[in-house]
Amino acid sequence: METGIRFTGFGGQGVILMGIVLARAAALHDQPAGVDGKVKRKSAIQTQSYGPSARGGHSKCDVKISTEDMHYPFVEIPDYLVIMSRQAYTKYIHDVKPDTKIVLDPDLVHDAPEGHVYRIRATRGAEELGTRVVANVIMLGAMREISNIVSYEALEKAMLEIVPDATFDLNKKALNIGSKLGKEAIHGKGKD
């Protein structure tokens, strides 16, 4: 089985980092038991596209996670679409299937798309932690809760391998808040 996840936003939000952490968690740390009791590793590939400018331009990061050997590493139509800017919403909202789950921050995206929409107030949550820079980690935590694509432990481990030591506590808190917001969204609060 293959699952495609697309993270979108603008340069500087850490959109690509979200994809790196998720793919890393799936490839290195998440080892579900496969057929015949043998542990079958997931394969995961992260790809990205960005404009020539480093900040403020469009930013997109795709992750494909497969329980089989992967032949085609790119995500065409995502199963999960995470949107963190108005510009990204306009650009990517049409590349969805009827059952694509859309995760967005309603403080950044005011539109009301149809389908399976989960509203995660990630920016507000980050502000409550004292800094907006962890909005991406909150979004990632929520997205994991909604998709259950990797375990919480694998995701946290992959994140801590990448972020600077001094930010461990902040990022752990952010991931936890994301998880809570994700749970709330699943149980109807914030969901259409």
Partner 1 sequence: MNIKPGEYFLQGNEACMEAAVLAGAKFFAGYPITPSTEIAEGLARMLPESGGEFLQMEDEIACISAIIGASWGGSKALTATSGPGFSLMQEAIGYAAMTETPIVVVNVMRGGPSTGQPTRASQGDILATKYGSHGDYQVIAFAPASVQEMFDLTVKAFNYAEKYRVPTFILSDAEIGHMRGLLTVPKEIKIVNRKEKGVRRSDEAYDVPDDLVPPFPTFGKGHKATITGITHFKSKIEPEDPKIHQQLVRRLNSKITNNRRDINKWEVIEPDSKTMIVSYGSASFGAREVAAKDDRVGLLRLKSIWPLPVEPIHEVASKCEQLLVCEMNLGQLFWEIKRVALEAGCKRVELLSKIGGDPPTPGEVRHKLREMGAI
Q: Is 11 in the site for partner 1 (CB under 8 A)?
A: no
Number of residues that bind partner 1 (CB under 8 A): 21
**Among 5, 15, 18, 27, interactor with partner 1 by CB under 8 A:** 27
**Among 11, 17, 28, 132, interactor with partner 1 by CB under 8 A:** 28
Q: Which residues of 60-94 are buried (b: 16+ CB within 10 A; e: fewer)?
A: bbbbbbbeeeeeeeebeebbbbbbbbebbbeebbe
Asked if residues 139 and 103 have their Cβ atoms less than 8 Å apart, the reply is: yes
Q: Strand, coil or helix: what is 179?
A: helix
Give the amino acid at 21. V
d(CA 9, CA 155): 21
Q: How far is the CB of 84 from partner 1 (least distance, A)?
A: 20
Going from the C-alpha of 188 to that of each of 118, 126, 143, the distances in angstroms are 9, 22, 15
Q: Is 72 in the site for partner 1 (CB under 8 A)?
A: yes
Residues 124 to 163 in contact with partner 1, rule: CB under 8 A: 158
Q: How far is the CB of 6 from partner 1 (least distance, A)?
A: 15
Asked if residues 136 and 18 have their Cβ atoms less than 8 Å apart, the reply is: yes
d(CA 141, CA 155): 8
Q: Is 169 in the site for partner 1 (CB under 8 A)?
A: no
d(CA 131, CA 137): 12
Q: How far is the CB of 23 from partner 1 (least distance, A)?
A: 6
Q: Is 5 in the site for partner 1 (CB under 8 A)?
A: no
Nearer to partner 1, 43 or 151 (CB): 43
**Among 36, 76, 165, 169, interactor with partner 1 by CB under 8 A:** 76
**Among 5, 15, 18, 23, interactor with partner 1 by CB under 8 A:** 23
**Among 9, 13, 24, 150, interactor with partner 1 by CB under 8 A:** 24
Q: Which residues bind partner 1 (CB under 8 A)?
A: 20, 23-24, 27-28, 43-52, 71-74, 76, 158
